[in-house]
Amino acid sequence: MGRMTDVRGGVYPFCRACTASSTAWRAPDSATRLSGIGSRFYGHRDVCPDCGSSVRTLYSTFLLVPVARRGRYRIIRTGGRSYVGRRLLDRPAAVPNPPSLEEPPSEFKNHPELVDATYEEAEARWAARDSAGALPLYETSLAACEKVLKADDPATLQVRLRVAQVLLATGDYASAIGWFELITPQLVRVFGEEHDLTRIAVEGVTGAQLMVGGPRAEMKLLSGLLDEDEKTLGRQHPKVLRTRGALGRVTMFAGQLGVAVQVLEMTLADGIEGLGADHPDTETFRSSLLEACDLADDRGKKKDRELSAAARHRWTLAPKAN
């Protein structure tokens, strides 16, 4: 397990090479097995010496008889019948980067004091697979950045992404999900959907969610972290805000739309109070709340729609244009 928790450079727990030759994939819902239709892996080859994944072929099955080949996957067992998988690409690796657009401007160059040994030391430890050693150094660098740069300055976002990656590599899924959920929309806005940094964040949160094992498990994990941190850090601490924001989002993905609206309202209120109304993180919480309201209006029950209407009124969130 020591090796598994520190595989570097790929989407956890896959190594860099296995990540490059595959793409994110969510395992089929096991509930369909009840109807006799299911899926099953066959074969077991090309075991990777770095991450221990192996190539298996997925077949659709009917009453346990394979009927159709659905593709090849890299699989790592995570105990019992559970596993994480990535779909193999037909044409592996070397996907050319899109023609590089101009990088967004950063205020970093105006703050020479930010160029110190801490970040370099953190990068060295990360490269040497010492995530536990790298984490406090990245956190120190991030605190220095956030003191003088905006939370969504390109330089700040890059350090934030590193912190999220390191938390994921150390197996702290709840904290990693909190960061990834917060920074992904910021990365999309600042760098664009297609940028490498955005892709790393999307892969990261997918990987963390796969490891946790579904929205319900994720809700439980995030609630546990929230209870713990709220007592010691208070409701408006940035980490508590991140965790509550992520809890609101996963509650939304789990289909509990009214509850999601309430959790995200609380996050927004505390964000305004703790960070300020126009802080980039507060903006992200506001967007999440709006998303939950839109979903509640479209798909919610009467109670969900009432909660959405009240939230829109309180926070002056315009209904979606039809």
Interface contacts to Zn ion, rule CB under 5 A: 15, 18, 48, 50-51
CB of 11 to Zn ion, least distance (A): 11
Closest CA to 56 of 48, 44, 46: 44
Decide: helix, strand or coil at residue 65. strand
Say if residues 218 and 242 touch (Cβ distance below 8 Å): no
Say if residues 244 and 266 touch (Cβ distance below 8 Å): yes
CB of 84 to Zn ion, least distance (A): 12
Question: What is the distance between the alpha carbons of residues 311 and 268, in angstroms, rounded to a whole number?
Answer: 11
Q: Which of 12/180 has CB closer to Zn ion?
A: 12
Q: Where are the alpha helices (DSSP H) in the chain?
A: 16-20, 117-127, 131-148, 154-169, 173-191, 196-212, 215-233, 238-253, 257-274, 280-299, 302-315
Q: Which of 22/198 has CB closer to Zn ion?
A: 22
Question: What is the distance between the alpha carbons of residues 87 and 34, in angstroms, rounded to a whole number?
Answer: 24
CB of 14 to Zn ion, least distance (A): 6
Q: Which of 17/217 has CB closer to Zn ion?
A: 17
CB of 95 to Zn ion, least distance (A): 18
If residue 70 lies in a helix (H) or strand (E), which one and from where to where?
A: strand 65-77
Q: Is the dihedral of CA 117, 119, 125, 127 positive or negative?
A: negative
Q: Which of 15/268 has CB closer to Zn ion?
A: 15
Residue linked to tokens 């509850």 = 259
CB of 39 to Zn ion, least distance (A): 23
CB of 224 to Zn ion, least distance (A): 31
Q: Which of 46/291 has CB closer to Zn ion?
A: 46
Q: Is the dihedral of CA 201, 203, 209, 214 positive or negative?
A: positive
Q: Which of 45/231 has CB closer to Zn ion?
A: 45
> Residue 64 is which amino acid?
L
Closest CA to 158 of 115, 126, 190: 190
> Residue 160 is which amino acid?
R
Q: Which of 22/165 has CB closer to Zn ion?
A: 22
CB of 12 to Zn ion, least distance (A): 11
Q: Which of 48/269 has CB closer to Zn ion?
A: 48
Joined together, the tokens standing for residue 267 give 């996050």
Closest CB to Zn ion: residue number = 48
Convert 16-26 to b/e letters by CB count within 10 Å (16 or more is b): ebbbbbbebbe
CB of 81 to Zn ion, least distance (A): 22
